[in-house]
Amino acid sequence: MVHNVVFVLGPPGSGKGTICAKIQEDFNYIHLSAGDLLRAERQREGSEFGALIEGHITNGTIVPVEITCKLLENAMKAAGDVRGFLVDGFPRNQNNLEGWNAEMTGKVDEKFVLYLSCPVDICISRCLNRGQGRTDDNEESLKKRVVTYNSQTFPIIEHFEKSGQVREVKSERPVEEVYADVVKLFS
């Protein structure tokens, strides 16, 4: 069975998780946050990847695709019959993109890339005020996350842009305004 996939990308704190939760509620799309899946795997008893994942998360670097892609694929298999999947925060670099293509080509239909664009200073203050106790929501990790985003993830968005797959929505506005534009892409 070929699943519809929408990639959701944007800087740390741009609102990917917030917007995906709302889409999941209103449309038959399942929200799969690569970061949430990695955080769950980090906590899972018996996981051999816990320390490796934690190291990457606090340093704002990117976990090897074999781990992330497997977590995403397992979650997709577990979800059953849905309209599609929102893949939030992935692919983040060339390694992610190549590993995903190698594993998933033919199994998924990539509809488009939702790019939530937002000035970095706003993104950082959102993360610092989030209050969820994430080990990467501190000034030092955030600086590194932004460097990684600019050097590795933004080029992936540009790559998708070249093939006309990117739908940009400016996300520095109030959530309801951002979401009103996102809804048009799914209706």
Annotated binding site for ATP: 13-18, 130, 173
Considering the complex, what minimum distance in angstroms separates the CB of residue 50 from ligand UP5?
13
CA distance 15 to 18: 5
Considering the complex, what minimum distance in angstroms separates the CB of residue 61 from Mg ion?
17
Of 86, 84, 82, 109, whose CA–CA distance to 37 is shortest? 86
Q: Is 117 exposed, middle or buried (0-12, 13-18, 19+ CB in 10 A)?
A: middle
For 101, residues 6+ apart whose C-beta sits below 8 A from its C-beta are: none
Please report whether residue 62 would count as binding ligand UP5 according to CB under 6 A.
Answer: yes
How many of the chain's residues bind Mg ion (CB under 5 A)? 2
Using CB under 6 A, which of 32, 57, 108, 114 touches ligand UP5?
57
Applying CB under 5 A, which part among 2-10, 14-22, 55-63, 156-164 lies near Mg ion?
Answer: 14-22
Q: Please identify, using beta-carbon distances, which residue of 105 and 129 lies nearer to Mg ion.
A: 129
Q: Which amino acid is located at 65 in the chain?
A: V
CA distance 114 to 27: 15
Pick out residues in 113-172 that bind ligand UP5 (CB under 6 A): 126-127, 130, 136, 145, 171
> Cα torsion at 53, 152, 159, 75 (round to 10°)?
10
Six-digit token pair at 42? 């980090």
Considering the complex, what minimum distance in angstroms separates the CB of residue 132 from ligand UP5?
7
Q: Please identify, using beta-carbon distances, which residue of 33 and 110 lies nearer to ligand UP5.
A: 33
Q: Please identify, using beta-carbon distances, which residue of 13 and 84 lies nearer to ligand UP5.
A: 13
CA distance 29 to 35: 18
Please report whether residue 35 would count as binding ligand UP5 according to CB under 6 A.
Answer: yes
Using CB under 5 A, which of 10, 17, 84, 91 touches Mg ion?
17
Sign of CA dihedral 174, 175, 177, 181: positive
Footprint of ligand UP5 on this chain (CB under 6 A)?
10, 12-18, 33-35, 38, 56-57, 60-63, 68, 89-90, 92, 96, 126-127, 130, 136, 145, 171, 174-175, 178
Footprint of Mg ion on this chain (CB under 5 A)?
16-17
